[in-house]
């Protein structure tokens, strides 16, 4: 009689293997749903940072134009840019000047690895309008 009572008490306070496996499976499904969302948010944040860097490039081009009378055809000539942007690569994007003249310029940012380091390719012109 004493062993039956002890067996009943021990089964009331523990988890079965099936219950534990169900909980682990539910946690695994939740993690599987969360990982792609986190990647998308990270890529969107890098796109936002790249758009901010494009704006810095545009402002540096305007400053260069005010002093030299023409727009620069290279990022390295824009001395007001931070070194990593002037090198052409920052925040998971490649930056380049697509065209420049005395009247206009177009700069572009493109993700280094599409979908992983960003989702959008964007451009900026002399009016400081960013288009993606």
Q: Is 104 helix (H, G, I), strand (E, B) or coil?
A: coil
In this structure, are residues 85 and 58 in contact, taking their beta carbons and an 8 Å threshold?
no
Distance CA 100, CA 106 (A): 7
Is 5's pLDDT higher than 90? no
Q: How far apart are CA 33 and CA 18, in angstroms?
A: 23
Range 116-132 average pLDDT: 91
Q: What is the mean pLDDT of the chain?
A: 88
pLDDT tens-digit map of 42-85: 888 999 999 999 999 999 999 999 999 999 999 999 988 988 88
Helix (H) / strand (E) containing 57: helix 17-68
Residues 6+ apart with CB under 8 A from 79: 60
Domain ranges within the chain, ordered by starting residue? 16-131
Read off the tokens for 48: 């936002």
Task: Please report how many Cα atoms fall inside a 13 Å half-sphere around the Cα of residue 104, on the Cβ side.
Answer: 8
């Amino acid at each position: 009689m004493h062993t039956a009572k002890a067996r009943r008490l021990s089964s009331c306070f523990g988890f079965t293997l099936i219950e534990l496996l169900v909980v682990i499976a539910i946690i695994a499904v939740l993690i599987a749903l969360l990982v792609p969302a986190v990647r998308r948010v990270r890529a969107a944040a890098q796109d936002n940072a790249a758009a901010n860097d494009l704006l810095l490039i545009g402002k540096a081009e305007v400053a260069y134009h005010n002093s030299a009378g023409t727009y620069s055809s290279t990022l390295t000539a824009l001395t007001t840019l931070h070194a990593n942007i002037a090198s052409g690569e920052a925040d998971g994007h490649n930056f380049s000047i697509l065209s420049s003249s005395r009247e206009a310029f177009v700069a572009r940012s493109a993700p280094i690895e599409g979908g992983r380091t960003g989702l959008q390719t964007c451009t900026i012109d002399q009016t400081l309008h960013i288009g993606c």
